[in-house]
Amino acid sequence: MKSTNRTGYRDVQSIIHATQSVNLARLDTDSLRRYCRHFKLGSINGYSPREQILNTVQRHFVSQPPLNEVKVISEFITAAKRLKTDDAQSEQL
């Protein structure tokens, strides 16, 4: 059983160390506009061409600090469990 856990750990580590790239050009224009609105990228307006929006989103995305994927996944699982517990408690009331 331990070898399975170690293999899984190695798999996760190899995923983390692999260079990851995101092709933001695959997003539709509405998604790019929502990204700009969410992050308050003010240089974009309703008439901005797709290329300008895409360039702005790409610059912003690349400028973000790298994430620790293992920590993010762990926090996501913790939050999901907390929500599940909260839902179960509210159903009992």
Whether 3 is covered by a domain: the verdict is: no
How far is it, in rounded angstroms, from Cα 12 to Cα 7? 9
Q: Which structural domain range is residue 68 located in?
A: 21-92
27-83, pLDDT tens digit by residue? 999 999 999 999 999 888 889 999 999 999 999 999 999 989 999 999 999 999 999
Q: Name the region of 49 (left: φ>0; alpha: ψ -120 to 50; beta: rest).
A: beta
Candidates 23, 32, 81, 74; CA nearest to 53 is: 32
Whether 10 is covered by a domain: the verdict is: no
Q: Is the pLDDT of residue 14 over 70?
A: no
The reported pLDDT for the residue numbered 2 is 45
Q: pTM surpassing 0.75?
A: no
Whether 13 is covered by a domain: the verdict is: no
Q: Is the pLDDT of residue 87 over 80?
A: no
Dihedral angle of Cα 25, 49, 40, 76, to the nearest 10 degrees: -20
Whether 27 is covered by a domain: the verdict is: yes
pLDDT band of 17, cuts 50, 70, 90: very low
The structural domain count of the chain equals 1
Whether 12 is covered by a domain: the verdict is: no
Whether 16 is covered by a domain: the verdict is: no
Whether 14 is covered by a domain: the verdict is: no
Whether 53 is covered by a domain: the verdict is: yes
